[in-house]
Structures are given as C-alpha cells and as structure tokens.
Structure 1
C-alpha cells in the first residue's frame, strides 16, 4: 500500500479494478443503473437552470473583494461545454453539482495548479472512496490494473492519497432534500422492479386453447401504478412526466408543481451558497482576505414568491396559467 500526498485519482475507462476485502469497505460497489422512474426523476430534479442557457441577462449577483481573482477562478472551471460567459459557467456548474448530489449525495472539485505556466483549472472528481477526517480529505484508491495496447499491462497497488484540503471544494446535499430522496428512491426502486410484471398475468396460449380468455384488466393495472407513483412522489411533488391525464385536477397539478419547484429552489440556493463558501476558501490561497458571494437575482424564481402563489391558489386568488408560467420561469 502506498500513502502519499497527491492530486485526486482520476479513473479512465481502461482502468480495471477488482475490489476485494477492505477495498469494498471504503469503496462500495458502484450503484446499479437506476430504473426507469428513478432515472427520469434524477434528470428532471437536477435540471435547475437549463433554460437560462437560451437567454442573456444578469441572473446572478456576484459580490467579491477581489473581482479579477473571482473571474480567474470561475473562468477556469471545467464544465461540459466551454463558455466564455461567467453566467453560463455558473449555470453549467450548478447543474453538474446538482446531478452529483442527487445521485451520490456529495460532489467534489479540485483546484489544479501549473506553477510553471501560471495556469489553474478546477475540475470535478468522483466522490467514491473520499473520506473527510478532521478537516483533511483522504482518497482510498483500490488495487487496479491498467491495460495498454502498445505495452504490457500494469498492476498498481492500493493507494491512500492525502489531498490538499485548501484545494478541495466539497458540496453536500441539504439534509431535508436528502431525507425526501432517500424515502422516495426506495419506493421508486420497488415500482421500477415490478413495472412490467403485468405481462405475466395474461393466460398463456396452448395447443388445446390457442385463444384463451384474458380477464386481466390492464387499465386497472395502469391506474394502480399511477396512483402508487403519485403517492411515492408526494413529498417531492414530481409528476412523473404525466401531463395529459384527465384523472387529475388543475389544482392538483399546480400544488404539486409548486412543491416540486420549491424543492428545486432549495437545492439551487444551497448549491450557490456552498459555491460561494468553497470559492472563497480556495481563493484565499492567492488573497488571504478574499471572499465572494454568488446569489440569484430577481430574474430567477424565489421560494418566497412560490409560497405566496401557493397561498393565493388555496384562496382561489390566482389562475393556473400564472402558477405554471412562474414555476417554469428559470
């Protein structure tokens, strides 16, 4: 086993790992691919600011003690799509962090420095095997084999990497959201597991009876599945991408939409708050008095206005169109 100070380990696709013994304790087996409903929910819930990519405007307020340093840090964040716009960088960063929080419950970024060329960049790394201990970050890297096409394969020993805490950015999912998702994910797993069991109920055709009478009511099965989905997602307010059902009232849809957006905004605001704190922390490497605060402006929907809309909806003082227009405002 090797123990040393280093940057986070990045696992390329050609790395093979055979986790045994103690490796399974620190690096549990990766989660299986989520089921149909769970995958849809994760995609929808993490889509916090997507439509802002289509608009230009001051959606964020950035207050900093050192504006050039703030621009330098944000300009060097690695996102899926490179952009010269600081606003679009924040949008992509917030949504990438949200995806990791929804799936893993944590997200990590690291400040990489090239002192020779005076360059920096901030990139994400997987939270698997990362342990926070007394203000330090330790990454457990299991034994692995690296395959090469032009030379012999390499066997690497188990590693414990001690990361520079001043370069690590850590994001945690809010406890209230974590509790909601934990309960919902268990129910969605059960629904996804039994989603296609209805195909086993109809009688099987035989030689003696090639056209058996089918007494199974598929509409009743679908109705039961839909009811179970709505009960499972009551706390989060997710509608399961069902927009055309005649069994739901407009009041029902609006109340759930408000609840879903409120939970999204809680996650969005938490990520922005943590982003401000983490950028301030790594910025102190260059300016001891550095601090930055990033928050949404009035162009973004707010929880207070959602609460106001919900109260007016209960009093029948607001229309459905006004509710949906505001909830889909990014």
Structure 2
C-alpha cells in the first residue's frame, strides 16, 4: 500500500473489485455503482486473478465513458486465489478505508459509502458491516433470493456488548457476509496476508473472525447497503468440493487463533469452544449454539426490502 503523504491519505476510500472470469454485465453494474457514489474521495482498483478474458478493454471503456479518472488495474497473469488477488489490489490502495466487491455485487444507492464511512467515524470503528440484499436475476429480471439477514443477532452491536459480539462472531459463527464489510485498508491488508501465509486461498472474510478474536470489534451500519448476487460465489454455491475447501480454510483459521501468544481468559474460552465445533455432536454443548440454530430456523431475522424502491438506481447501474 502506498505510504501516506504528509500524514494524509490520497483517498478516503479505495474500492477494490476482485475478479476472476467476470460476467460482463455484472462487472459493469458493480463499477457503475461505485463510480456514482457521492461525497466520497474515492479510487477504484480492479484486481483480476489471472482470467483468460479479464475484460480489460471493457473496464477501461466504462471509466472513459463516465469520465471517472481515479482508477487502477491490477491484471495478474497467474491464478493464485481470491486472497492473494485481494492482496494485490490492497497493496496498490491509497485510501484510508477499503471496500471490496465482486462482479455482480453492487452498492444500494449513491449515498451508501458516505453514510457508511460517517457511521464508522462516529463509532470509532476500524471495520463495519451493513445489511445485504440477496438477489438473483432470472430472464433479465432481478428478484429477492432470500430475505434472511446476517448476522442473526445484531443486538450486541446496538447495545455495545463487546464480549457477546465477539462470542457470537467467533464461536457461534454469526458472521456478516463478505460483500457487506468495510475496513481500514492497512488492517485489512495485514490480516489478509496472515491468512495467505497460513495457506488459505479463498475465504478472505475469515479475517474478520480473527479480528474479533483479537479484540478488534466491528460496528453495525443498520442500512441495506449492498445488493449481493446470491448463489454465484463460493459461500452460497452448492459445490461439495468448494464446501470442503472452505472447511479446510476454517480449520487453518482456528489454528491461527490457537497460535496467538498470551491469550487472555476470554480468548481461551472462545478458542476452546471454537475448536469443539468441528465435531457435529460436540456442537450441541457449545453455549448459545443450539439457541442460535433454533432462532435461525424458527425466527430468522428478515430484511424487508422491496426491489421496486430501487428500480431507478438499479437501472442506472445497468
């Protein structure tokens, strides 16, 4: 990452779009939702993970057609996985904060990032999650894919219950989707490199679980901020092979927690039950696990969103 000049960042925000074999329309939608953000000094970095067709000419055309000047392309020639690709983008970032998106995912309005960053500064948080609208497109028509909101419990963040927030995130895996996270750039780069050095390749959002374990607690921005193209990524796909890969990365992340030096008593307790969860039977005895499961099945937290309210914006980004 470029050094600060005179103690100041060149940009308030670096938007990093990580791509691999991107679909053209989804990529354009993502870029336009970023370009049309208002009130934020921002750069856009597109980092591609060695795609045979990285759509470079089309990306340049979008920036040229809109007159957006603050952009960079990081076109990697070798496929190294999502985390290394993200690192290659973050290393070029000159913004204080970084927002990561993938093609097909896009911000939910022109004022999203201004409001989000203001909320983070007001709360003094290093990273934050917002609400996600899960959508899919069928016959060129967008529709809600699922109304279930994540995390299940947001009360700990509203009540500033730091310990419960950490327990829910680390032990109960009550986590935020990767697309709805914003973080200080330097912090994100630090933890992404730690995951990569441990051998992980894909699940970059595991870094926030590590942050929670370390006591770096995220804040909650209570707004539907991101449209997430549900069912196309690693986390929502149906491949058994991918599921096994992500579980292996989960186990490596647990080992990173276990290797932390001088853990306090609460960290030791979190680690004990986090390691216990790798057994299906033992999970029953994890404090809060059964309650979270039943609540998710019987009384899921739902994000009530009418896509017709965003028709104009979605058309503007198409």
Instruction: Determine if the TM-score, normalized by the shorter chain, exceeds 0.5.
Output: no
TM superposition score normalised by structure 1:
0.23
Greater Cα radius of gyration, structure 1 or 2? 1
